Amino acid sequence: MTDTAILERMEKRLAKRHAAERRFRLMGLAAIVLSLGFLALLLVIMLKNGLGGIDWNFLTSSDSTEPANAGVWGALKGSLWTMLVTLLLSFPLGVLAAVYLEEFAPRNRWIEIVEVSINNLAAVPSIIFGLLGLAVFINTMNLPRSSPLVGGLTLALMTMPVIVIAARNAIKAVPPSIRDAALAIGASPVQTVFQHVVPLALPGIMTGTIIGMARALGETAPLLMIGMRAFVATPPDGITAPSSVLPMQIFLWSDEIDTGFVQNTSAAIIVLLVFLLVMNGVAIYLRNKFEVNW
């Protein structure tokens, strides 16, 4: 073979390899475009179907058999009550558990079991929490069915591990020098943690809490188990009144045969997504504003 022939073959081979390189790169780009395109399609379809349905009447009235009269206020109020119960339970419990595990817990078998069970609870399917709520809160403790109390308790058990994990990471990020300084001027370990470490970790804890709450707000499956799918035409005025929640309202309307409910369903989805967007926006803002790089 002559030198030119070898050179030619080499160049051909190189061109082929570079073409493969470009193809691979394009495939990566295509994967991202496809994923984000799906998200965009979903949002556009919901906006197209639902934007016309959002007016003052829709935001202030409750469920109705008549699509034109139906609104989200009743479900929204149910969601707010449920979230209130969830927050009041899961936030203190989650933060206290995280403080204990991160700052005080001795390293032994028991604590290991606690840690493993927290990590596993964060990955348990949400519907299992619904089964737990049904078996324990409704059938054993006889708490009122379909109420924000039971819904909030169930979602709190689900949200707590998320808060514990976020709070532990935030507490871990506080440098030991802060603790040493406080201890050196005579603070007790408990004072050190509650007066110095936790306040410094608070932005991270808040971010994790908001993200956990946003997840709980969008959750439907466990609430189906505890019967929060009742037709509720009057907004609930307490945590023991029968109520629905926003995602459940979406689910119930999506089942309606009347085509007028298509607009309602999409409009309710827009309302829910706006809430989630605001919550996540606040979480990102908090993280960017208060995060300290030690």
Which contacts of 231-238 are long-range, i.e. CB under 8 A and separated by 24 or more positions? 231/63, 232/62, 232/63, 232/74, 232/75, 232/78, 233/62, 233/63, 233/64, 233/74, 234/62, 234/74, 235/62, 235/73, 235/74, 235/77, 235/78, 236/74, 236/77, 236/78, 236/81, 236/147, 236/148, 238/81
**CB closer to other proteins out of 131 and 183:** 131
**CB closer to other proteins out of 203 and 227:** 227
Least Cβ distance, residue 17 to other proteins (angstroms): 5
Separation of alpha carbons 94 and 90, rounded Å: 5
Least Cβ distance, residue 205 to other proteins (angstroms): 14
**CB closer to other proteins out of 60 and 120:** 120
**CB closer to other proteins out of 147 and 266:** 266
Interhelix angle 73-99/198-217, rounded to 10 degrees, is 140
Least Cβ distance, residue 256 to other proteins (angstroms): 12
Least Cβ distance, residue 54 to other proteins (angstroms): 16
Is the four-CA dihedral 97, 99, 101, 105 of positive or negative sign? negative
**CB closer to other proteins out of 2 and 58:** 58
**CB closer to other proteins out of 127 and 183:** 127
Separation of alpha carbons 277 and 142, rounded Å: 36
Interhelix angle 246-254/260-290, rounded to 10 degrees, is 150
CA 115 to chain centre: 21
Least Cβ distance, residue 245 to other proteins (angstroms): 10
**CB closer to other proteins out of 57 and 120:** 120
Residue holding tokens 């007066």?
195
Least Cβ distance, residue 226 to other proteins (angstroms): 9
Least Cβ distance, residue 222 to other proteins (angstroms): 9
Which residues does 289 contact at the CB level (< 8 Å), separation at least 6? Answer: 203
